[in-house]
Structure 1
Amino acid sequence: MSIALQLRGIEKRFGATPVLRDVDLAVRAGERHALIGPNGAGKSTLFSLIAGAQRASAGRIELMGEDTTRLSCAALARRGLARSFQTTSVFARLSVLDNMRCAVLASRRGWGGCVDRWIGSRHVDARATQVLEAIGLSAFAEHAAGMLSYAEQRALDLGLALAGGAHTLLLDEPTAGMNRAESARAIELIRSVSAGKTLLIIEHDMDAVFSLADRVSVLVQGRVIATGTPEAIRADAAVREAYLGSGVGQ
Structure 2
Amino acid sequence: MTIALRLSGIEKRFGATPVLRGVDLDVRAGERHALIGPNGAGKSTLFSLIAGEQRASAGCIELHGRDVTRLGPPALARRGLARSFQTTSVFARLSVRENLRCAVLASLRGGAGFAARWFGSAQADARAADVLDAIGLAHAAERAAATLSYAEQRALDLGLALAGGGQTLLLDEPTAGMNRAEAARALALIRATTAGKTLLLVEHDMDAVFGLADRVSVLVQGRVIATGTPQAIRADAAVREAYLGADFGAASS
TM-score w.r.t. length of structure 1 = 0.98
* 2:77–2:107 CA contact under 8 A, matched in 1: yes
Q: Find the aligned partners of 1:71 and 1:114 in 2 and give their Cα distance.
A: 22
* 2:7–2:24 CA contact under 8 A, matched in 1: yes
Residue aligning to 1:238: 238
Q: CA deviation at 1:109?
A: 1.8
Q: Find the aligned partners of 2:229 and 2:221 in 1 and give their Cα distance.
A: 21
User: Does 1:76 pair with 2:76?
Assistant: yes
Q: Find the aligned partners of 1:119 and 1:102 in 2 and give their Cα distance.
A: 11
Q: Secondary structure at the match of 2:177?
A: coil
Q: Find the aligned partners of 2:119 and 2:189 in 1 and give their Cα distance.
A: 27
Q: Find the aligned partners of 2:140 and 2:42 in 1 and give their Cα distance.
A: 36
What percent identity do the matched residue pairs reach? Answer: 80
* 1:11–1:18 CA contact under 8 A, matched in 2: yes
Equivalent residues in 2 for 1:186-197, closer than 5 Å: 186-197=186-197
Residue aligning to 2:15: 15
* 1:116–1:123 CA contact under 8 A, matched in 2: no
- Higher mean alpha-carbon deviation, 196-205 vs 115-124, is at 115-124
Equivalent residues in 2 for 1:81-96, closer than 5 Å: 81-96=81-96
Equivalent residues in 2 for 1:120-135, closer than 5 Å: 120-135=120-135
- Higher mean alpha-carbon deviation, 10-19 vs 121-130, is at 121-130
Aligned length: 250
Output the amino acid matched with 1:160. Answer: L
Question: What do the CA deviations read for 1:80-136 (whole angstroms, capped 9, x no partner)?
Answer: 000011100011111000000111011112334889612452211111010010000
Distance 1:181 1:120, change over 3 A: farther
TM-score w.r.t. length of structure 2 = 0.96
Residue aligning to 1:226: 226
Gap regions ≥5 residues in structure 2: none
Gap regions ≥5 residues in structure 1: none
* 2:105–2:114 CA contact under 8 A, matched in 1: no
User: Does 1:198 pair with 2:164?
Assistant: no
Q: Find the aligned partners of 2:149 and 2:83 in 1 and give their Cα distance.
A: 21
Distance 1:87 1:119, change over 3 A: farther
Equivalent residues in 2 for 1:1-250, closer than 5 Å: 1-112=1-112, 117-249=117-249, 250=251
Distance 1:9 1:173, change over 3 A: same
* 1:115–1:121 CA contact under 8 A, matched in 2: no
Q: Find the aligned partners of 2:113 and 2:208 in 1 and give their Cα distance.
A: 43
Q: Secondary structure at the match of 2:227?
A: strand
Output the amino acid matched with 2:69. Answer: T
Output the amino acid matched with 1:80. Answer: G
Question: What do the CA deviations read for 1:6-61 (whole angstroms, capped 9, x no partner)?
Answer: 00000000000000000000000000000000111000100100010000000000
Q: Find the aligned partners of 2:245 and 2:221 in 1 and give their Cα distance.
A: 16
Distance 1:113 1:227, change over 3 A: same
